[in-house]
Structures are given as structure tokens and as C-alpha cells.
Amino acid sequence: MPSYLHDKIKGREFVERIGGPVPKLLATYTSADDIRLDELPDTFVLKPTFSSSSFGVMVLERKEEGYHDHLRHRDLTAEQIVAEQTELSEKTPRAKHEWIVEERIVDPQGNPVPDDYKFFTFQGEIGLIHRTIRDPKKNKHAFFDGNFEPIVDPEDRLIEVNTKIIERIVEPRPDNWKSMLNIAKRISVAVPSPFVRVDMYDTLNGPVFGEFTLVPGTFYYEDREKMHAPLSYRMGYLWEQAENQLR
């Protein structure tokens, strides 16, 4: 398993090498104390490369008295930003601590936090697409099959979500769905693993890569989403076929 791809810098570099779209890289830091917010543009995204999911990620915009984090809908001072990143690094003392700053991207509607599209891929085959729509009160989740067709599952026979923290909805596929599928498949085939989750964003300038996940993510813990047998068997079949293909 190419676990090095969990590192956000190495993941970016891998996708760039195969010609995939990535956000512009503005800066890198090896210590939270080295982060120079005053040298960055008015809008940017700060990401620790050593954390999973959105832990530590800040979608920042400079204001008169500090910064606004659009991801978590809060105002922060420069000192608070550095302190939070320092605290996060202290929780993983053995990790290689690096931070990247990327250009802030916006979705086709101009929202500063684009929806997150997670493609569950198996050597070019797509088993599931999971869309997360950020909302201050409760995130909305929509699911699609491998052809980007919406999954209508009113009796939760395929996927069950924790309704205390997630609202499940049915959404039409985005306008850029064909491009997103093609990019996800191309990246999937290039990764030497039977399974990889390819996260992407749909933006005003087309789809861009977000990050890799080499494990099934929240479906493994079943605290937010639970995958039931029919879909789980389908994913297992695709995994097995991908393993055979790699052999």
C-alpha cells in the first residue's frame, strides 16, 4: 500500500506528475512557528500535511482585526491560528510536521468552501461517490453510483447515516460530472493499490484534486455512515477484481 500518498505534499506531487489538476501551492512550512500569515494573500487555505480528514484545515480570509475561517465559521487572530496548529502537531509528536498553503478555490456558485466529492475507486472502477455539502448547522450528504447517478435509497438499504449530525439528501449530478469521473479514474489507475479514495472539489475553473485516503474512511468506524451488505459486497467485489488486475 503506497501509504506515503496520505501526506498531502506527496499526494499533490503524485497527481501533478500524471497531469492531474491541483490547487496552486503558495507556501510550505516545517514548523507552526514559521507560518508567516502576513506574507500570504488575503484569501488562502492552510493545511497540516500530517493530519487526516479536515483536522487543522483552515479556509482563511484576512479581515481588519484578524482572519475569518470559512470552514468552521469563526473569527481568529494570527496568534490563535498558530497556537491551534502548534497544539495539533503536539498531539502527533512522531509525525513529520509540515504545513502547506494553497490558493483558496470557490465552487461554481462562488461559495468559499466547495463541496467535497469522495470517489471510492478500484483501479479505474468507481464503486461509490460521496458528496459532502458543508453547512453551519448540519452537513448534508448525497451519494452517487459509479456512473454519477444519484442513489435513491429511502429505506436505507445501502447506506445509513447518523441523522443526529448528518442530513442525507438526494442531489442531481454536477455539471462537471464527466470531467470529475475521468480525472478520478485516471488517478485511480495510476495509484499502485487496489483501492484508493480520491477526494476532489468542483470549482469555477473545473475539478481539482484534494487528497488521497487509502482506507474506507468514516464507513470503517460507522459513527457517521454505515454501509449495508448489498453495497458492501459490491465494493468488496471491485476490490478483489482490482487486486487481480494488479497481479
pLDDT tens digits for 38-51?
Answer: 999 999 999 999 88
Residue-averaged pLDDT of the chain: 93
Show Cβ contacts of residue 85 under 8 Å, excluding neighbours closer than 6 positions: 32, 35, 46, 48, 56, 99
End-to-end CA distance of the chain: 14
Neighbours of 107 (CB within 10 A): 16
Q: Is residue 85 within 8 Å of residue 32, measured between CB atoms?
A: yes
Residues 165-192, mean pLDDT to the nearest whole number:
95
Q: Which of 22-36, 52-66, 172-186, 231-245 has the lowest mean pLDDT?
A: 52-66
Q: Where are the alpha helices (DSSP H) in 62-174?
A: 78-90
Query: Residue 1's pLDDT band (boundaries 50, 70, 90)?
Result: low
